[in-house]
Amino acid sequence: MRRNFRCFLMVNAALMLTACTPFDIAYTGIASQRHSGHPAPHPGDAPHPGGAPRPGDTSHSGRVSGSGGVPARPQFPTLHPGDEGALVEKVQSRLDRLGFKAGPPGSEYGPALRMAVWAFQKANGLPAVDRVDPPTWQALSHPERVRPLVPSGGSVRVEIDLRRQLLTAWKDGKPALISHISTGTGKPYCKNGHCGVAVTPTGDFRAWWRTAGWTTGPLGEQFYTVYFNGGIGFHGSERVPRHPASHGCIRVPLHNARPLFDMIQTGHQVYVRRPA
């Protein structure tokens, strides 16, 4: 009788834990690891020394580093680029519903999802890291509301946050697309005979010129560009690191370039801010 009662309690505890997982994710869809170690560093990012455990990584010990030995609740597996499976699909679906687009649906933690996770982490006050860790799981369950930089802006507009390196496209008063970006380095440059200081100026602007597909200029290739301040615009790029790296334009991931181009027409407002 006592053994039966104990089993009853264990089953109920498991059911309660499953019921409390964010956005209907159960423990049965754990992603399979396709790689033996950690992903290669993104261009411009410093590699993690010596392959030591990463802060916040629960994939080995099940505990959050630096948390005083307190297990993460709930203990979802930490996902890394290259992982695949049902849990990765759930993360992508959740991000897409929140406006953090990650390209076509799929089950692999690929480059597009990687940058969508960065954007989501930054929007929720978390460091942009190459993993879906316990703090990210918590934020996916209870995300912060996206607040406008310019509440009085037009119903269709773009807001660029230089401090957090985030772009938000608003439509009908709602955030329709939120993207990781890389803006001007703030440093002098000389390339192909063109010299200047790589600055992304703040201010209020309007889209004035749009170029579809790939174009090539003196400073490099651009994908679906929307110009809003002379020769400065936002465009797709194959290199959008986690730090300012452009000559002044706003680089966005390739998978977000066409949707932004289709949404923002000539005359739409573009606000560039550097919040305190």
Which pLDDT does position 23 carry in this prediction? 55
Q: Are 269 and 154 in contact (CB under 8 A)?
A: yes
Q: Is residue 221 part of a domain?
A: yes
Count of CB atoms situated within 10 Å of the CB of 131? 23
Q: Is residue 105 part of a domain?
A: no
Torsion of CA 9, 12, 13, 19, to 10 degrees: -170
Q: How far is Cα 94 from Cα 16, in angstroms, rounded to an integer?
A: 22
SS3 assignment, position 136? helix
Q: Is residue 112 part of a domain?
A: no
- Per the annotation, the verdict on 35 as an active-site residue is no
Domain count across the chain: 1
Q: Is residue 228 part of a domain?
A: yes
Q: Is residue 49 part of a domain?
A: no
SS3 assignment, position 75? coil
| Helix H or strand E encompassing 179 | strand 174-180
| Helix H or strand E encompassing 121 | helix 111-123
Q: Is residue 208 part of a domain?
A: yes
- Per the annotation, the verdict on 7 as an active-site residue is no
Amino acid occupying residue 95? L
SS3 content of the chain, % helix, strand, coil (to 5): 25, 25, 45
Range of the domain at 236: 178-273
Which pLDDT does position 24 carry in this prediction? 52
Which pLDDT does position 218 carry in this prediction? 81
Q: Is residue 207 part of a domain?
A: yes
Q: Which of 42, 247, 249, 255 is catalytic?
A: 249
SS3 assignment, position 32? strand
Kindly report the CATH number assigned to the domain that includes residue 267.
2.40.440.10
Which pLDDT does position 74 carry in this prediction? 54
Q: Positive or negative CA dihedral for 24, 29, 35, 37?
A: positive
Q: Is residue 50 part of a domain?
A: no
Which pLDDT does position 53 carry in this prediction? 44
SS3 assignment, position 119? helix
pLDDT in tens for each of the 276 residues of the chain? 444 444 443 334 333 333 344 555 444 343 333 443 344 444 444 444 433 444 444 444 333 444 444 444 557 899 999 999 999 999 999 999 999 999 898 899 999 999 999 999 999 999 999 999 999 999 999 999 999 999 999 999 999 999 999 999 999 989 999 999 999 999 988 888 788 899 999 999 999 999 999 999 888 899 999 999 999 999 999 999 999 999 999 999 999 999 999 999 999 999 999 998
Q: How far is Cα 73 from Cα 252, in angstroms, rounded to an integer?
A: 34
Q: Are 158 and 264 in contact (CB under 8 A)?
A: yes
Q: Which of 42, 80, 235, 268 is catalytic?
A: 235
